Amino acid sequence: MEAGTTASTSWPVELRDVSVTYPNGTKALQNVSLRVEPGEMVSIVGLSGSGKSTLIRTINGLVQATSGEVSVGPYAMVGLKGRRLREARGHIGMIFQGFNLAERTDVFHNVLVGRFAHSSAFRTLLGLPSKTDRELALRALDSVGMLEKVWSRANALSGGQKQRVAIARALTQEPSVMLADEPVASLDPPTAHGVMSDLRRINREQGLTVLVNIHLMDLARQYTTRMIGLRDGRLVYDGPAAAATDADFEQIYGRPIQARDKLESQA
C-alpha cells in the first residue's frame, strides 16, 4: 500500500458494548463490540431488522448509542453534539440505499454537499464554492466516471448513476472512514457489481476503511475481506468473508439459505 498514499489518513472504528434502544422500546442493538482496523473492507450481514442500519448509523452519530462507546479515529461519537459532531461526520463518508440525492439539484451541487463540514456557511449560503471544493468535487466525479453528467439534474440519472454520484459526494469529504448502508439493494445485478467494485477500488487504492451493510451473501464473500453477522441486534459472526460457509450464513440468518439471499439468482 506504500504507493497509495492517501490524502487523508484512514481511521479505525471501534464499538465497545454498544446497545441501542429506540423510544418505542425496540432493542435494535444489544451489547455489540467490534474493532475495525484502518484500511479494512468489512461487510455487515443480516436480515432486514437485524440492526445493520442502526449499527452503521451509530458510527456517524445519526443514531446515538443508548449505552457503550463508539470511537472513530480520534473521536468518541457517543454524546457528541453540535460543531464537534459535524466535524467528526465530515471525516466519515456515507452512502445510502436510496441514494439520498436532492433530485431537483444538479449533480455538481449534490456532490458539494460533501463539503458541508469543511466550508464556511457564508460560501455555502451564497452558493459560491471555493476553488478547492470545486476541484475536489470534479475529481471525485471523475473518479467514478460521472464527470460528463456534472450539470445534469439528479432526477435525470439512472439508479446506478445516482449511486455513483452519491459515492462521489462521500469521496468529496476526503473521508477517513466510508460507511455504506445497503448500497446496492435498489440496483440491478450488473450495476450492483459496478458499485461494489467502485467501493473495493476506493478501499484498495486509498486504503480507506470501508464498512458496508449488505444482505446478499455472494456479494459479501466476493468483495469484502471480513464479515460481521448480526441477528436480532446481536453480533453472531465475525470472521474472514471468503471463508464463510453456507452454514455460517444460515446461522446468521437463523433460517436455511433461500434464493433471494444471492444476487446471481435474482437476475
Partner 1 sequence: MTTRELVVPPRPGNRIRNSLIIAAFVAFTVATCIPAIGGIELDVASIARNWRNGADKMLQLMQPNFEFLPRTWAPMLETLQMALVGAVGAAIVSIPLTLWAARPTNPNSFTRHVVRTIVNINRAVPDLVFATVLVAMVGVGALPGVITLFLFNIGIIVKLVSEAIDSADHGYMEAGRAAGGTQLKINRVTALPQSLPLFANQWLYSLELNVRISAILGIVGAGGIGRLLDERRAFYAYADVSIIILEILVVVILIEILSNLLRRRLV
Partner 2 sequence: MTQTAPAPSQTQAPSPSAPPRPSKLWPTVFAIAAGAVVLVATAGLDIAWSELPELPGQVWHYLVLMFASPDWERLPRALFETWRSISMAWIGAILCVIVSIPLGMLAAKGVGPAWLRTGLRGIFAVLRAVPEVIVALVLLTVTGLTPFTGALALGIAGIGTQGKWVYETIESVQEGASEAVRAAGGSTAAVTRWALWPAAAPSLLSFALYRFEINIRTSAVLGLVGAGGIGSMLSNYTNYRQWDTVGMLLIVVVVATMIIDAISGRIRRRIMEGAKVRDLARSL
Cβ 174 to partner 2 shortest distance, Å: 7
Q: Which stretch binds partner 2 (CB under 8 A): 32-40, 184-192, 198-206, 242-250?
A: 198-206
Asked if residue 171 binds partner 2 (CB under 8 A), the reply is yes
Among 4, 98, 240, 254, binds partner 2 (CB under 8 A): 4
CB nearer to partner 2: pick between 141 and 217: 141
How many residues sit in the footprint of partner 1 (CB under 8 A)?
37
**Interaction residues for partner 2, span 83-142 (CB under 8 A):** 132, 135-136, 138-142
User: Distances from the Cα of 26 to the Cαs of 46, 69, 247, in angstroms?
Assistant: 17, 20, 28
Nearer to partner 2, 149 or 231 (CB): 149
Closer by beta carbon to partner 1, 121 or else 247: 121
In the complex, the smallest distance separating the C-beta of residue 244 from partner 1, rounded to whole angstroms, is 29
128 forms part of the interface with partner 1 (CB under 8 A): no
- Residue whose CB is less far from partner 2, 117 or 147: 147
**Would you count residue 166 as binding partner 1 (CB under 8 A)?**
yes
Chain positions 10 to 49 lying near partner 1, rule: CB under 8 A, are: none
Residue 51 sits in the site that holds partner 1 (CB under 8 A) = no
Site residues, partner 2 (CB under 8 A): 1, 3-7, 132, 135-136, 138-143, 147-148, 150-151, 171, 174, 202, 204-206
